[in-house]
Structure 1
């Protein structure tokens, strides 16, 4: 009897193991955080180079905790809400340069993608005192270098708060919504030049340089926000669509001693952008980047604040466009480091203080993908690059003369670094297709491992029950190019069977969707589809990044031509494989990817039988000036480039199943794109499916939204592909 029970127990156990390995992933698990990876949140090095801080939240308490780099031990807390009576929590923080004070953000509300406003407090780390910056919700508060003041923007005007006296000085007084903006960027600058704060303290704290945006002549865009009230609310904001009037931008200097504003004349420019301002190591010299509207000529200008004179020190030109970055770094003697694609690949260059080229620091048929900084003590520049293949990243150091290059990471995959303030250490985050994020501490001199910090081994253990399929990296020959590709197959894949194929892509200029990295959230959705018998693949075609300027910029003036040709041809090549059913190939994408998937099912109607487009651009005439004109010039100059590759002009070619999805509150790619596409399809008598998510922005999220959206897409795929 005992023997029989043991055997029965073994059978039950074995059955449980088999069942566990065959566990099917669900939509609930994908979106409830079941497979989320552990990260290091708000990591920031302290100036001593020996410690770093992390924002921790536990049991309703928020604290900024200090850890020792070498040991990993927590040494103290800079601040904890347990010790504060005035506030119970805070969302973010900013340390002053000398780390004596901290700005704590509370009641933060999002405005657009990068902008927000909130109520801020100033915490003194020495005596534990807390001062409220303002009763108002303000934007972009920033300490002065001597930490005696905080400058911020409220209702489009700049203010300065004196911490000791509590007095507030109003710097500008002409700010007005949809007319004049001081010290922060307008919508299109924020979205496309990726910055919000448009004012900068100089090194001595006696000057503030700031940008003013006169957007009175910029056309307005409006959208209804339905909410829960009886009447909807109308949001009206300035949005310059391609070919329309931009804000008139100007540069100004505010002298704290004189309390006067000086206008800066940069030169004989018309219809231009100022995408960056930055003070140099000389407290009287401000650097300004001026970009023409076509974005193919950039002047680096030095402005002498004392005599208000501007001088061009360097000019860069490109037949297509110039990418704006934050890589400009000034050394103590005002020599500066710059990155450029001038030799066909993105590399690091060293210039003297007069703008004369001293040396091209890096070179080769690979891209510098991140510039981390320069360490004076070791005389080394630290950067990330694709030297080990375009789907991988590694961290390197090199001397400004281009010699002594040292590879600081040794695992093949995606490596990125966060350096200590004195460049003694760096925390490396690593992932590849088999490894969720791992965090390790290394010596910055030689890359030697100091200690392991955090990994996601618990996630890997959890995933064992699901028997997930690997993400297979490879290349595919398409239109004369070796294109990067990943593929996920069903876990019970049989090469002798035929499977339907779903392709995903983004394809925007300079983007990358194929990399040697672990599953993201969408990859778990692809596992769900793989469990249902689908193969999923992504191909990075021409126009995507990290394979040289020529490969990236071939799409200039013709967005949606070569990228679409590559997706159609890639589908044909994959459809010829014995295990793929060439009559059941679908494609989907979001934003630029939605533009692409729409074009693909129209222009490739003999290849694709299904497409899903989420928040798509359907005509580049509807999108903003800075992004669109960078690649297309204006519609007045290039009407055929705009119209011949816009899905809205090819609706009569629709044969397959098409699903359109958009957020009703999308301030970026406006719902107008989908509404105009819908009307064109109706007038062409084409049947399709569509869904609008009320008040949701370009990301279409919040509450149960993502789960609903992906369930809808899953059902559409399983019913039609």
Structure 2
């Protein structure tokens, strides 16, 4: 039998030529519809009476998940929720009164109230549109809500409605200049002449308006939105102030994405984003003073550091940099429980400064309570993002302490600040992160998730409201996503481990209680394979940092001395942990590679989540810097500690991982012999504004950062074998990115690369056939380039 036939023989068996490895896995098996793995609970929530746990699940192999429940009385039964019961559920959103005996919510636009004792709901108000944001006011006899861009108060005792604001779309000029057409004028005049009742009502309406103006001395105030949008309306607990954000958006030039396989048979353009540097969104926070019937805006031009220039200007000495007041993005106002005070979170649009300030509600002046600056960018758990919010911020019931999260010490922790004396206190501290803190029902404790045990685990704790010892309430190793019952007596825990997908558990809210498993969703086909628990390691980088990673080691008898480096995506993400990865397909692929003799390393490089501010910002102004050398240093660790052949190292990843793969193949050719770059950014000047401008600033302001961070500028360095794979309808990282790179490679005369395109796929693939084709090509690439470099005809089946 000749060499080529031997190669085909081995690969058909799922083996690698010359090593006779085999696996019970295949690319086709791994990449089929994820339902083959099993069914697992998602979107866990409680019934309002703490009697049932509801979650999305799929026991009956429906086309999509359905709502199921488990009752505390019969925890061994998983019951599909009927459409009638699903419709009757009280939503999690809404507002309880202080005694938690009544809850406000909206249903199909109606204002509703639910009585916890009688377990009955009642419709309070239907205005023929969507009522939103209902809240009990300070005296709890009144309810505030918003409707069609205006603030209202509903009186529970007498059923009366008071409109607080008169906010109108368009401009005053447009309203005054609006004239009826000739036809409309004719119809109106005819109607008034023929129908006396209509004429009398119009006369009465005009007389009433004239009388009010004569008594008050002025016309009722109207505020016009002009070309702005209103969002985040908040009504003070006393009903004397209303705050709202005004948003003015100019998207800039968008890049349409052509869809060549539209069902119409025509090529249709998909609307997509603009590029970095073209963001023209501005926000203002307005205060509507009910007593004075006037609107004014918070004043940000005196915030400390508002004119500060960034440090990177020193790299451009030839340019004149003007110190000027920077634009800021305010959050919605947050009122104290008694309604006498309000705070706001503000961020500079370059995301380097964050202020928490108290608002003088009478003037709009701001008093800075806390100021944070980062020469890179501000982020982290509970800190939020410039335009999207998401920050932890609120008041304690004493109306003088506010709480928030900050990376002041390098890790995101929970703080209290006394607005009366300015004293700040850290409630948590250490080299770990805090996630989703929430006050208990009685406001005497905090519930919070942290990584105190280690960056690869998440556990749920309880802590006194003013700080103190954290009481650990979960014990299962891995990730514990806790949903507290409304009465806080029980925890529904969605738990997973490295090699075990998510399951649902029930536990009393006490440290010593045992957790009971409620679901067991793994399929027989999935559980029949012995999935690896990858080893969590740390290796030393060239700058002395200890880099976390997951390591998949083959058995000695099948080890082929080749290694594959996997690079996870970004957007602030962690993958070297002890729970079921969102990259579950890649995790299964790594098991297949390990069966075939490969050593696989999965690195939480600089820029990854879970390790604090300095780790996150280690890529500032140079993507493809420390994040890439962390991959190279990981290879060095494998060579020195696991006998990897330096000539047998491949790299692959998607999105940011694809970008790093390109940078590795173009600039570290002596390290990586083969690479698969999936849905890759090739030029950061073509990516979006919100993500890119934080890390690289703007192209027109900091071109150095973009030039050294974009793979397309380094394509001449390609020496190894490169696979580029991309979805053609990707509205996140546009197909244009790899088209431009392909032309660059063609012009450079590069030969050892190929491109696979997927006509129906967006950024995240959904079709099993696409996943299978892509990973078949990746496996072929590594088998051919790393194990059979001289035989281009070697292939591997699905």
Instruction: Tell me the TM-score normalized by structure 2.
Output: 0.71
Residue aligning to 2:135: 145
Residue aligning to 2:454: 389
Residue aligning to 2:563: 501
Q: Is the 8 A contact 2:707 2:713 kept in 1?
A: yes
Larger mean Cα displacement after TM superposition, 495-504 or 637-646: 495-504
Shift of 1:258: 9.4
1:698 maps onto 2:749 in alignment = no
Shift of 1:648: 0.8
Shift of 1:331: 1.1
* 1:318-397 → structure 2 map (5 Å cutoff): 318-323=374-379, 324-325=383-384, 326-334=391-399, 335-354=401-420, 356-364=422-430, 366-375=431-440, 377=442, 379-397=444-462
* 1:446-485 → structure 2 map (5 Å cutoff): 446-449=510-513, 451-456=515-520, 458-459=522-523, 462-479=525-542, 480-485=544-549
Residue aligning to 2:198: none
Shift of 1:102: 6.5
Shift of 1:22: 6.3
Equivalent residue for 1:272, pick from 300, 314, 327: 327
Equivalent residue for 2:550, pick from 480, 486, 489: 486
1:314 maps onto 2:314 in alignment = no
Residue aligning to 2:95: 97
- SS of residue in 1 equivalent to 2:256: strand
* 1:242-261 → structure 2 map (5 Å cutoff): 242=277, 244-253=278-287
Q: Provide the rounded CA distance (Å) in 1 between the counterparts of 2:427 and 2:623.
A: 33
Equivalent residue for 1:288, pick from 326, 333, 344: 344
* 1:274-673 → structure 2 map (5 Å cutoff): 274=329, 276-282=331-337, 283=339, 285-303=341-359, 308-323=364-379, 324-325=383-384, 326-334=391-399, 335-354=401-420, 356-364=422-430, 366-375=431-440, 377=442, 379-444=444-509, 446-449=510-513, 451-456=515-520, 458-459=522-523, 462-479=525-542, 480-490=544-554, 493-494=555-556, 497-506=559-568, 508=570, 510-518=572-580, 520-577=584-641, 579-673=643-737
Larger mean Cα displacement after TM superposition, 326-335 or 309-318: 309-318
Residue aligning to 2:229: 182
Q: Provide the rounded CA distance (Å) in 2 between the counterparts of 1:717 and 1:133.
A: 64
Equivalent residue for 1:81, pick from 80, 83, 88: 83
- SS of residue in 2 equivalent to 1:277: coil
Shift of 1:65: 7.0
Equivalent residue for 2:269, pick from 205, 227, 234: 234
Q: Provide the rounded CA distance (Å) in 1 between the counterparts of 2:243 and 2:259.
A: 36
Q: Is the 8 A contact 2:352 2:377 kept in 1?
A: yes
Q: Provide the rounded CA distance (Å) in 1 between the counterparts of 2:111 and 2:483.
A: 26
RMSD of equivalent CA atoms: 4.4
Shift of 1:369: 3.5
CA separation of 1:373/1:532 partners in 2, compared to 1, >3 Å: closer, same or farther? same
> Any stretches of 5+ residues in structure 2 without a counterpart?
1-21, 97-101, 115-119, 137-141, 172-225, 307-324, 385-390, 787-798
Larger mean Cα displacement after TM superposition, 601-610 or 305-314: 305-314
Shift of 1:514: 0.5
Residue aligning to 1:115: none
Q: Provide the rounded CA distance (Å) in 1 between the counterparts of 2:465 and 2:359.
A: 26
Q: Provide the rounded CA distance (Å) in 2 between the counterparts of 1:22 and 1:63.
A: 35
Shift of 1:298: 0.8
Q: Is the 8 A contact 1:94 1:103 kept in 2?
A: no
Q: Is the 8 A contact 1:505 1:539 kept in 2?
A: yes
Residue aligning to 1:13: none
Larger mean Cα displacement after TM superposition, 93-102 or 366-375: 93-102
Shift of 1:355: 7.5
CA separation of 1:504/1:96 partners in 2, compared to 1, >3 Å: closer, same or farther? same
Equivalent residue for 1:215, pick from 227, 249, 254: 249
Shift of 1:241: 1.0
Q: Provide the rounded CA distance (Å) in 2 between the counterparts of 1:102 and 1:54.
A: 20
Q: Provide the rounded CA distance (Å) in 1 between the counterparts of 2:426 and 2:85.
A: 52
Shift of 1:350: 1.0
Larger mean Cα displacement after TM superposition, 95-104 or 420-429: 95-104
Shift of 1:645: 2.5
- SS of residue in 2 equivalent to 1:650: helix
Shift of 1:451: 4.7
Shift of 1:328: 1.7
* 1:8-23 → structure 2 map (5 Å cutoff): 23=24
CA separation of 1:46/1:606 partners in 2, compared to 1, >3 Å: closer, same or farther? same
Q: Provide the rounded CA distance (Å) in 2 between the counterparts of 1:254 and 1:541.
A: 48
Shift of 1:49: 5.4
CA separation of 1:129/1:381 partners in 2, compared to 1, >3 Å: closer, same or farther? closer
Q: Provide the rounded CA distance (Å) in 1 between the counterparts of 2:355 and 2:600.
A: 45
CA separation of 1:127/1:629 partners in 2, compared to 1, >3 Å: closer, same or farther? closer
Shift of 1:671: 2.8
Q: Provide the rounded CA distance (Å) in 2 between the counterparts of 1:649 and 1:72.
A: 59
Larger mean Cα displacement after TM superposition, 422-431 or 559-568: 422-431
Q: Provide the rounded CA distance (Å) in 1 between the counterparts of 2:771 and 2:127.
A: 37
Shift of 1:342: 1.0
Shift of 1:316: 1.9
| Deviations 1:348-376 (CA, angstroms, capped at 9, x unpaired) | 21112348234211112x22231331226
Shift of 1:532: 3.9
CA separation of 1:62/1:500 partners in 2, compared to 1, >3 Å: closer, same or farther? closer
CA separation of 1:64/1:477 partners in 2, compared to 1, >3 Å: closer, same or farther? closer
1:173 maps onto 2:239 in alignment = no
Shift of 1:200: 4.8
> Any stretches of 5+ residues in structure 1 without a counterpart?
1-20, 106-119, 185-197
Larger mean Cα displacement after TM superposition, 335-344 or 496-505: 496-505
Residue aligning to 2:33: 32
- SS of residue in 2 equivalent to 1:530: helix
Shift of 1:650: 0.3
Q: Is the 8 A contact 1:37 1:437 kept in 2?
A: no
| Deviations 1:97-134 (CA, angstroms, capped at 9, x unpaired) | 358676679xxxxxxxxxxxxxx788987479999998
Q: Provide the rounded CA distance (Å) in 1 between the counterparts of 2:634 and 2:69.
A: 50
Q: Provide the rounded CA distance (Å) in 2 between the counterparts of 1:464 and 1:310.
A: 59
Instruction: Tell me the TM-score normalized by structure 1.
Output: 0.77
* 1:93-132 → structure 2 map (5 Å cutoff): 95-97=93-95, 126=120
Q: Provide the rounded CA distance (Å) in 1 between the counterparts of 2:126 and 2:783.
A: 55
- SS of residue in 1 equivalent to 2:681: coil
CA separation of 1:646/1:246 partners in 2, compared to 1, >3 Å: closer, same or farther? same
| Deviations 1:270-305 (CA, angstroms, capped at 9, x unpaired) | 443426325233446443221113322111233355
Q: Provide the rounded CA distance (Å) in 2 between the counterparts of 1:544 and 1:294.
A: 21
In the alignment of these two chains, the number of paired residues is 652
CA separation of 1:711/1:280 partners in 2, compared to 1, >3 Å: closer, same or farther? farther
